[in-house]
Amino acid sequence: MERKYNPIMIEEKWQKRWEEEKTFHVTEDADKEKYYLLEMFPYPSGKIHMGHVRNYTIGDVVARYKKMRGYNVLHPIGWDSFGMPAENAAIDHGVPPAEWTNENIDAMKKQLKRMGFSYDWDREISTCETDYYKWEQLFFLWMYKKGLAYKKGATVNWCPKCQTVLANEQVEAGLCWRCGAEVEEQYLEQWFLRITDYVEELLDYCDKLPGWPERVLTMQKNWIGKSYGCEIVFPMADSNDVIKVFTTRQDTIFGATFMLIAAEHPLVMELVRGKEREPEVREFVERIKKQDKMMRTADFYEKEGIFLDAYCLNPVTEKKMPIYAANFVLADYGTGCVMAVPTHDQRDFEFAKKYGLELIVVIQNPDNPLDPETMTKAYVDEGILINSGQFNGMENMKALDSIADYLSSIGRGQKTIEYRLRDWGISRQRYWGAPIPIIHCEKCGAVPVPEEDLPVILPGDVELTGEGGSPLVSVKSFVETTCPNCNGPAKRETDTMDTFVESSWYFDRFCSPHFDEKPGLDKKAVNYWMPVDQYIGGIEHAILHLLYSRFYTKVLRDFGVLNFDEPFTNLLTQGMVCKETERCKEHGYLYPEEVKDGKCVHCGLDVKIGKTEKMSKSLKNVVDPDYIIREYGSDTARIFCLFAAPPEKDLEWSDQGVEGAFRFLNRVWRIVMDYLDDIRDIEIFDGKADLDREMKNLRKKIHQTIKKVTIDIDERFHFNTAISAVMELVNTLYQVKHPDKRDAKGLAVVREAIENIIILLNPIIPHMTEELWEMIGEKRKLSGISWPSYDESVAAEEEITIAIQVNGKLRGRIQVSADESGENIKKLALNNERIQRFTGDKKVIKEIYVPGKLVNIVVK
């Protein structure tokens, strides 16, 4: 009997069958418990990479497993299809973005299908289609009416050569990524979403998401950056005006000796207007404004400032404080003004030293008293307040509240809270995105497009050159329109939305992907499926995508569309796929196929193996999933990705590891082939008759394996240990002597082993297991089979090994029956000949018995 494992044939056969039979199509079913499993949907770049393979394989195992556990599983896929690369392809090669995008989708869809993922393809969505983004435009209108979407001036990265706005990621070391021109700051009118309205709830729920990795929540908390402090009012020395500052260190207020204002703050020029210093200050401000971006990316930059020939008063000491404009103060955090306490803030200290400003110590170091004359750096630790009037002698941290209360009692301050999080700027001066549904009318101003006029369709016939700002500006048929208010001539908004907007609600759309009524989400379906039970994706989206999605969920909830607070109950952030880099002196980095026997195929020079890094085209350390599928099949690709590392860790690619995975699949295949004829007509062992020792052990192993695999997948997503457990069972089966054809009992146990191996591996290698299932003569469909349960009494060991320690050191082992009493085991341990060599004539102080594990004898 020789039937070779032919993965390609088998895989294509079953993929076709699943597609024809719509095996993974689901609908809402009130009788079944739902399970919504989602992987982050891909950008259609043209080809899937190993990161996708890993991400989607992990998800697929869970989806298939949950289905076998009886859940009604929603497992959809779609395309995050707006974005820059499509536009760049158009600029570089003249292909229309829609065409480029759809071709890529077709190609990647084929690849995903070839991997055998259990998607409900009837729910496929593509965010660049009008039937998707028209709802997004509707939500925008609702947000606009509620004041959650607004327009304001803001500085952006501007490439003067390309005449366009660049996203932060498109600025490389201060230069435009495409043309290399120096990026400038420009002040532009931009659309924003008021995420800060939800900042407290977003922060609060960080402590109510137990299914999220701690580090993601920490990153989000840091990003939100809540700080408790005080707004303090500083009166001007010679007018009735005031300067307000935000500080978290009101305990140091008595040490504030000068005032700093962000260079670009309008107050700077106001203060020097008409003064002798005005031209000098203007020059300084202009210089700083230009340098700003460069300096912010530099590791270190010199503190610089300029005196504004103005003074304010310290609100508690009434001392005169000179006012400076400074480069290191941020204009858009707090009030843009900072009280400087040079003795207890390092930046202020450096500034004071440079410009010869006064130092007053207000927190005394208890171990080593400070002297302003000799200090070489600011003292930032805790201590006792001095030079602080009625607060002298208090611990500085404890004085925070009292000083805030005092400031408020004299009308010069109050407790406040500041956040690092800013409103979300969604304007892009780009073509390939969802148009913002606003019309600008000279008479009426910004007017929202009436809901019944949606969608505002992105025009198709646009020439993309990459120059001259937003491409939509020059499309007359798009821009020129009439005002919905006054019917006069008006112009459409030409900004499109950030692509993060699409991905902020796509998971809702998957629940009713073809729903054509307002608001594009069928409440019944969405509230049945949502929230997502398990979300899986890369750690690189830990902040932006996940925070925006949480924000959108709360906004849509407040519009009455959704009835839950958070979109993702459990989150798994899988690690990256890495591979060692290879380079040759002549030809630089090499693709794996450019290396043969350690030599470069171009020049024959020795290839140097470099660091293991995330697979990337620039380092050429990539493996093409198509190649792996062609050589080994997708089942091998799947099991390798799962076996090499637990999902949250980085996975190191290993060609030999892939070989090993393939070898294991062959091993499974062969053992089933070996038994095929003998077990085809056998029923699985019913547990009624007595078995010989070998078969009893095999059965024990079967049930132990079911138990371990169930726990590993269900509780921990540790597929690597689940697979190794099945490997052990397969190894055990290989060790068993092949029962005689007439030994029905023995063969029944073997059949039990084989059936369970197939079922346990099904979520991991679905194609091969379907094929084997059919071959062993099963009539039931494997895709409809339930997950096996195990019999605890069969899995139990009859004899257990007890380790014996003397003073905590392992000195021997004894075999006892599993129900042996603790007293007897202790006795056996003490009387053990080997053990007596170590206890000898010493006195036994105590014996510790850990049930089923060990005995520790303590002697002296």
Residues 228-267 that bind RNA (CB under 7 A): 229, 245-249, 262
In this structure, are residues 454 and 484 in contact, taking their beta carbons and an 8 Å threshold? no
The residues near 541 (Cβ < 8 Å, ≥ 6 apart) are 40
Size of the site for RNA (CB under 7 A): 84
Q: Which residues of 568-602 are buried (b: 16+ CB within 10 A; e: fewer)?
A: bbbbbbbbbbbbebbbbeeeebbebebbeeeebee
Of the candidates 564, 724, 589, 580, the residue with the CA atom closest to the CA atom of residue 652:
580
Q: Nearest Cα to 42, choosing from 603, 482, 625? A: 625
Which residue in 215, 282, 354, 680 binds RNA (CB under 7 A)?
Answer: 215
Question: Which residue, 218 or 482, is less far from RNA as judged by CB?
Answer: 218
Least distance CB 483 / RNA (angstroms): 40
- For the CA atoms of 219, 223, 224, 226, the dihedral, rounded to the nearest 10 degrees, stands at 90
Q: Which of 539, 673, 794, 795 binds RNA (CB under 7 A)?
A: 539
Which CB, 169 or 373, lies closer to RNA?
169
Query: From the list 58, 329, 546, 641, which residue makes contact with RNA (rule: CB under 7 A)?
Result: 329
Which residues, 279 to 318, sit near RNA by CB under 7 A?
Answer: 295-296, 299, 301, 303
- Helical H segments across 225-275, by residue range: 266-272
Cα 398 from chain centre: 38
- Closer CB to RNA, 8 or 539, in the complex: 539
Q: What DSSP string describes 590-626? A: --GGGEETTEETTT-PBPEEEEEEE--TTTT----HH
End-to-end CA distance of the chain: 66
Beta carbon of residue 788, minimum distance to RNA (angstroms, whole number): 20
- What residues from 461 to 480 belong to the interface with RNA (CB under 7 A)? none
Give the separation between CA 396 and CA 59, rounded to whole angstroms. Answer: 52
- At closest approach, how far in Å is the CB of 542 from RNA? 7
Give the residue with the Cβ less far from RNA, 447 or 814: 814
Closest distance between RNA and the C-beta of residue 522, in Å? 36
Contact between 172 and RNA (CB under 7 A)? Answer: no
Q: Which is nearer to RNA, 12 or 418 (CB)?
A: 418
Contact assessment for residue 344 and residue 380, using Cβ atoms and an 8 Å cutoff: yes
d(CA 171, CA 440): 30
Figure out which of the listed residues 9, 179, 330, 689 binds RNA, where binding follows CB under 7 A. Answer: 330
* 71 touches 35 (CB < 8 A): yes
Interactions with RNA, residue window 684-743 (CB under 7 A): 718, 720-721, 723-724, 727-728, 731, 734-735
Query: In the complex, what is the shortest distance from the CB of residue 245 to RNA, in angstroms, rounded to a whole number?
Result: 7
**What is the distance between the alpha carbons of residues 28 and 442, in angstroms, rounded to a whole number?**
49
**Which CB, 457 or 810, lies closer to RNA?**
810
Nearer to RNA, 214 or 371 (CB): 214
> Considering only residues 634-693, where is the footprint of RNA by CB under 7 A?
643-646, 649-652, 654, 656-657, 659-661, 663-664, 666-667, 670
Rule CB under 7 A: which of 195-214 touch RNA? 214
* Separation between Cα atoms, residue 24 and residue 647, nearest integer Å: 24
Q: Shortest Cβ distance from residue 603 to RNA (Å)?
A: 27
Per CB under 7 A, which of residues 58..117 are in contact with RNA?
none
Q: How far is the CB of 314 from RNA (least distance, A)?
A: 14
Q: Left, alpha or beta for 454 (phi > 0: left; psi -120 to 50: alpha)?
A: beta
8 Å CB contact between 629 and 12: no
Tokens of 188: 């532009």
Q: Which CB sits closer to RNA, 62 or 644?
A: 644
Question: Least Å distance between CB 298 and RNA?
Answer: 7
Closest CA to 641 of 51, 63, 38, 64: 51
**Of 335 and 429, which CB lies nearer to RNA in the complex structure?**
335
Looking at this protein, which amino acid is placed at residue 132? Y
Q: How far is the CB of 468 from RNA (least distance, A)?
A: 32
We find the least distance from the C-beta atom of residue 46 to RNA, in angstroms, to be: 25
Which range touches RNA (CB under 7 A), out of 176-184, 445-453, 817-825, 847-855? 847-855
Q: How far is the CB of 390 from RNA (least distance, A)?
A: 21
Parallel, antiparallel or unpaired: strands 854-859 and 799-806: parallel
> What distance in Å separates the CA atoms of residue 132 and residue 506, rounded to the nearest whole number?
9
The answer to whether the CB of 508 falls within 8 A of the CB of 529 is: no
401-420 positions binding RNA, by CB under 7 A:
418, 420
Residue placing its CB nearer to RNA in the complex, 409 or 656: 656
What is the C-alpha separation between 646 and 54, in angstroms, rounded? 11
Cβ 846 to RNA shortest distance, Å: 7
**Closer Cβ to RNA, 3 or 145, answer by number:** 3
Q: Which is nearer to RNA, 181 or 330 (by Cβ)?
A: 330
Query: By C-beta, is 448 or 537 nearer to RNA?
Result: 537
Residues 334-373 that bind RNA (CB under 7 A): 334, 336, 338-339, 345, 347
Alpha helices, H only, 84-152: 84-93, 97-114, 130-145
For RNA, give the closer residue by CB, 784 or 840. Answer: 840
Identify which range of 9-17, 73-81, 357-365, 850-858 contacts RNA by CB under 7 A.
850-858
Do 758 and 769 form a contact (C-beta atoms < 8 A)?
A: yes
Q: Which of residues 417-436 bind RNA (CB under 7 A)?
A: 418, 420
CB of 295 to RNA, least distance (A): 5
Q: In what order do the strands lie in the sheet with 438-441?
A: 445-448, 438-441, 489-492, 480-482
Q: What is the DSSP string of 367-410?
A: SS---TTT--S---S--EE-S-GGGTTSBHHHHHHHHHHHHHHT
Near RNA by CB under 7 A, which window of 124-132, 141-149, 740-748, 842-850? 842-850
DSSP state of 59: H
Residues 822-841 that bind RNA (CB under 7 A): 834
Tell me how far, at minimum, the Cβ of 357 lies from RNA, in Å: 15
Residues 788-817 that bind RNA (CB under 7 A): 800-801, 803, 805, 807-811, 813
CA distances from 676 to 277, 698, 741, 776, 803 (A): 95, 18, 12, 6, 42
Nearer to RNA, 96 or 538 (CB): 538
Nearer to RNA, 543 or 776 (CB): 543
* Local structure of 230: helix, strand or coil: strand
8 Å CB contact between 188 and 165: yes
